[in-house]
């Protein structure tokens, strides 16, 4: 067994690998860019080596620097994590030449299966079901349009070296094929250094289901059931679960055997994932093979009881797989939510900055797990992907897993940067998701105009009003205890209150529960009553306790006289006041926001790659105005209507903040 390994990655996955290495008694070496010098993976490692500037292409993607770090520290093997160099055949080949073990498949397997065009040809030879398409690299956008037309729309345009949703577009007509090809080429070149692009038929109403495989150097192979990754937004996975609500044992066996046949065809060693697109009739087609560990591997670990990183290390060290296919378990149900630094209420735009507060839910062995590479006070950088953490839960069945995820999301407290927790929590309430009847178009179909707070149903806003009233009363109870007040001048606290939430008033009566050892209030409304017991104190971000005997957990914070409450995907502001104050407030005129319609504002922090127009230029609706790069993704801003540019307010190459003006229109 290795004595020391180097992790050629950063963030959450680097921390994940370091934990298993330490569990196995192996020392871990971290590499980091200048921007990551204070990162969590650097703190957890036994040694750390700086390998260059913030930009990935000058640090994490430079093979020579990784090899030099191995020699400097005496690392015998390298775990690549996912992303960066994890599917780079040249990297694994160079390591082998230097006598350094690659904790992953051999370079020839990476080369064959990491290349989507080559892997599809091999899948055909191995008698694996494949999707119709054009499997050669396409030279230009005009040829892309002709090929797309010959296959028949809709088509999927994909970068050969792509992954993680980058370098991928779906086109429904010639215009989208032309523009999608250009965007794919640019993204692939920047992210992977490989601009080859191919096209295949897009299967309507598809599910994205993948099979985890393991192979060793002795010709032993197993598949570890399936993962359903169909809940995606713009081809980025949002929720993953294992097993799939769609797959039955016969289909699982057929998919698993095809996945193993493909792995065997390329003499695959280590952990890998064979991805399939699956129709509603359970017909399945090979999509691609990821020759690395997947982001969503923890859900497989929960249902099988295996540590995939440990198995990768043992296979790389020359050991045999410790189990046969008949010994693979399928125990209960597991789900993973990717917690990303993005603002769901602003079109999921990236959110960067300092994590002022970071309080994940408590980890419970066998039930709740949090994989993260950040810490409170750390920074979410614009240079890398937007992942803050992965929240994984396990239950005896899908219903229990969903309930456990709801509770964990309610207890996940982040401030300083925006996060997609409200969106994840909303998905966990959605009837269609809970039914298991969904496909990869679920989010686009259910939220066609984006995600808005008012889209999220809450079973009981009266309950939220009651909690807000409890919070207000807790502050008042402290205030009336101030000493040295003049006799007869103490505040008399009334029982009648009104709570304003989403333009609706909730009149209520609130009284203290007069029982020894009980902290709580009794709230009466017109048609409901709530007995809320809680030890909540000022400054605590989570309001926990019971309501009518049932456990509750909400996020609550006081902003002036307003309480911001988050629960089950709903975020609302609650104003608690006397009945007379509510009458007067209803008479106040509403203050309108300033008119910014004549400006193009940056919707996110990022780098202004291009300004596509000039002062005085007439622009038609739909034309490109500017391109902003943030977290490795290109975001094209288009004109919403015909207009004329009055002034260009920002220059190409400039770093933009949120809502910074880029253009002014006449």
Per-residue pLDDT at 560: 80
Mean pLDDT of 487-503: 80
Q: Which residues are catalytic?
A: 288
Per-residue pLDDT at 145: 95
Residue 555: helix, strand or coil by DSSP? strand
Indicate the range of 23-32, 85-94, 199-208, 412-421 predicted with least confidence. Answer: 199-208
- Indicate which CATH number applies to the domain containing 524: 3.30.700.30
CA 48/CA 43 separation, integer angstroms: 8
CA 44/CA 597 separation, integer angstroms: 48
568: in domain: yes
At residue 480, does pLDDT exceed 80? no
E strands in 257-332: 270-278, 284-290
Write the pLDDT tens digit of every residue in 506-515.
Answer: 999 999 998 8
Mean pLDDT of 273-284: 91
445: in domain: no
Say yes or no: 605 and 563 in one domain: no
Say yes or no: 474 and 545 in one domain: yes
CA 142/CA 128 separation, integer angstroms: 31
CA 249/CA 256 separation, integer angstroms: 10
Q: Are strands 496-501 and 570-577 parallel, antiparallel or unpaired?
A: antiparallel
At residue 547, does pLDDT exceed 90? yes
- Of 331, 351, 376, the position where a domain reaches its end is 331
186: in domain: yes
452: in domain: no
At residue 488, does pLDDT exceed 70? no
Per-residue pLDDT at 204: 77
Mean pLDDT of 224-237: 94
Question: What's the distance, CA 599 to chain centroid?
Answer: 31
Per-residue pLDDT at 630: 79
473: in domain: yes
Say yes or no: 112 and 187 in one domain: no
Say yes or no: 475 and 553 in one domain: yes
417: in domain: yes
**Most confident option among 61-75, 129-143, 456-470, 650-664:** 61-75
Say yes or no: 123 and 149 in one domain: no
Q: What secondary structure does DSSP assign to 433-502, as a single string?
A: HHHT---TTHHHHH-TT---GGGS--S-HHHHHHHHHHHHHHHHHHHTT-SSPPTT-SPPPPSEEEEEET
Residues 85, 67 contacting (CB under 8 angstroms): no
- Which percentage of the chain shows pLDDT scores above 90? 71
592: in domain: no
Say yes or no: 253 and 174 in one domain: no
Residue 300 CB-half CA count within 13 A: 27
Say yes or no: 273 and 139 in one domain: no
- With a CB cutoff of 8 Å and minimum separation 6, the contacts of 390 are 12, 295, 296, 298, 336, 337, 338, 339, 370, 371, 372
Q: Which of 62, 91, 66 is nearest to 6 (CA)?
A: 66
Per-residue pLDDT at 595: 83
Residue 632: helix, strand or coil by DSSP? coil
Per-residue pLDDT at 590: 79
Distances from the Cα of 623 to the Cα of 408, 637, 640, 653, 658, angstroms: 43, 9, 8, 21, 22
CA 310/CA 21 separation, integer angstroms: 8
Say yes or no: 216 and 327 in one domain: yes
At residue 171, does pLDDT exceed 90? yes
Say yes or no: 124 and 263 in one domain: yes
- Report how many domains make up the chain: 6
Say yes or no: 553 and 528 in one domain: yes
Please, which pLDDT band fits residue 538 given cuts at 50, 70 and 90? Answer: confident
- Indicate which CATH number applies to the domain containing 404: 3.30.470.20
Say yes or no: 310 and 240 in one domain: yes
What is the average pLDDT score of the chain? 92
At residue 485, does pLDDT exceed 70? no
At residue 349, does pLDDT exceed 90? no
Per-residue pLDDT at 370: 98
Per-residue pLDDT at 266: 92
CA 548/CA 542 separation, integer angstroms: 18
What's the 3-state SS for 13-43?
A: HHHHHHHHHHHCCCEEEEEECHHHCCCHHHH
Write the pLDDT tens digit of every residue in 350-395.
Answer: 888 899 999 999 999 999 999 999 999 999 988 888 899 999 999 9
Per-residue pLDDT at 351: 87
450: in domain: no
- Of 371, 403, 436, the position where a domain reaches its end is 436
Look up the domain containing 153 and give its range: 132-201
Mean pLDDT of 206-215: 96
**Most confident option among 455-469, 544-558, 566-580, 617-631:** 544-558
Note the pTM of the prediction, 2 decimals: 0.82
Backbone angles phi, psi at 338, to 5 degrees: -85, 120
Say yes or no: 272 and 231 in one domain: yes
Write the pLDDT tens digit of every residue in 60-118.
Answer: 999 999 999 999 999 999 999 999 999 999 999 999 999 999 999 999 999 888 777 77
Write the pLDDT tens digit of every residue in 129-166.
Answer: 988 788 788 999 999 999 999 988 989 998 888 766 77
Per-residue pLDDT at 489: 60
At residue 633, does pLDDT exceed 90? no
- Of 157, 178, 201, the position where a domain reaches its end is 201
């Amino acid at each position: 067994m290795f004595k020391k390994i180097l992790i050629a990655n950063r963030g959450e996955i680097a921390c994940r690998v370091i934990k298993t290495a330490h569990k196995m008694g192996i020392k871990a070496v971290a590499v980091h860019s200048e921007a990551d010098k204070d990162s969590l993976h650097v703190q957890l490692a036994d040694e750390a080596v700086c390998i260059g500037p913030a930009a990935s292409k000058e640090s994490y993607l430079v093979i020579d620097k990784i090899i030099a770090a191995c020699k400097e520290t005496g690392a015998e093997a390298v775990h690549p994590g996912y992303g960066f160099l994890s599917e780079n055949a040249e990297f694994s080949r160079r390591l082998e030449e230097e006598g350094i073990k690659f904790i992953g498949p051999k370079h020839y397997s990476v080369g064959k299966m990491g290349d989507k065009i080559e892997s599809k040809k091999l899948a055909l030879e191995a008698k694996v079901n494949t999707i119709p398409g054009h499997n050669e690299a396409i030279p230009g956008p005009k040829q892309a349009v002709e090929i797309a037309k010959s296959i028949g729309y809709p088509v999927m345009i994909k970068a050969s070296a792509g992954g993680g949703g980058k370098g991928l577009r779906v086109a429904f007509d010639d215009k989208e094929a032309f523009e999608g090809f250009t965007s794919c080429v640019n993204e692939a070149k920047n992210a992977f250094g490989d601009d080859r692009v191919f096209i295949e038929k897009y299967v309507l109403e598809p599910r994205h289901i993948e099979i985890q495989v393991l192979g060793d150097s002795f010709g032993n192979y197993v598949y570890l059931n399936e993962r359903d990754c169909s809940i995606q937004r713009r081809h980025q996975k949002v929720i993953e679960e294992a097993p799939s609500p769609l797959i039955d044992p016969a289909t699982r066996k057929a998919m698993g055997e095809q996945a193993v046949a493909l792995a065997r065809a390329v003499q695959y060693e280590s952990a890998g994932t064979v991805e399939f697109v699956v129709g509603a009739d359970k017909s399945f087609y090979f999509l691609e093979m990821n020759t690395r560990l997947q982001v969503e591997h923890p859900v497989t670990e929960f249902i099988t009881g295996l540590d995939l990183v440990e198995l990768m290390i043992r296979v790389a060290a020359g050991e045999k797989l410790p189990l046969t296919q008949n010994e693979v378990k399928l125990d209960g149900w597991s789900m993973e939510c990717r917690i990303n630094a993005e603002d769901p209420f602003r079109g999921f735009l990236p959110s960067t900055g300092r994590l002022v507060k970071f309080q994940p839910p408590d980890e419970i062995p066998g039930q709740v797990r949090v994989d993260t590479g950040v810490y409170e006070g750390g920074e979410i950088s614009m240079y890398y992907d937007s992942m803050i953490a992965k929240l994984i839960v396990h239950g005896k069945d899908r219903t229990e897993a969903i309930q456990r995820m709801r509770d964990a999301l309610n207890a996940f407290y982040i401030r300083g940067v925006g996060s997609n927790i409200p969106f994840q929590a909303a998905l966990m309430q959605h009837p269609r998701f809970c039914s298991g009847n969904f496909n990869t178009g679920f989010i686009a179909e259910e939220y066609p105009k984006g995600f808005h707070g008012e889209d999220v149903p809450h079973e009981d806003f009266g309950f939220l009003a009651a909690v807000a009233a409890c919070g207000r009363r807790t502050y008042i109870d402290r205030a009336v205890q101030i000493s040295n007040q003049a006799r007869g001048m103490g505040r008399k606290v009334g029982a009648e209150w009104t709570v304003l939430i989403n333009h609706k008033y909730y009149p209520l009566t609130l009284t203290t529960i007069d029982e020894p050892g009980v902290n709580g209030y009794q709230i009466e409304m017109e048609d409901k009553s709530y007995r809320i017991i809680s030890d909540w104190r000022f400054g605590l971000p989570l309001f926990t306790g019971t309501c009518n005997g049932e456990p509750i957990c909400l996020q609550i914070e006081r902003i002036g006289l307003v309480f911001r409450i988050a629960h089950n995907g709903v975020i609302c502001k609650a104003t608690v006041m006397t009945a007379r104050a509510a009458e007067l407030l209803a008479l106040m005129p509403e203050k309108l926001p300033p008119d910014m319609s004549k400006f193009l504002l940056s919707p996110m922090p990022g780098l202004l790659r291009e300004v596509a127009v000039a002062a005085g230029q007439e622009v038609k609706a739909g034309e490109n105005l500017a391109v902003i790069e943030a977290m490795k993704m290109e975001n094209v801003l288009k004109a919403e209507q015909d207009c004329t540019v009055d002034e260009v307010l920002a220059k190409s190459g400039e770093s933009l903040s949120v809502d910074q003006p880029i253009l002014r229109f006449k």
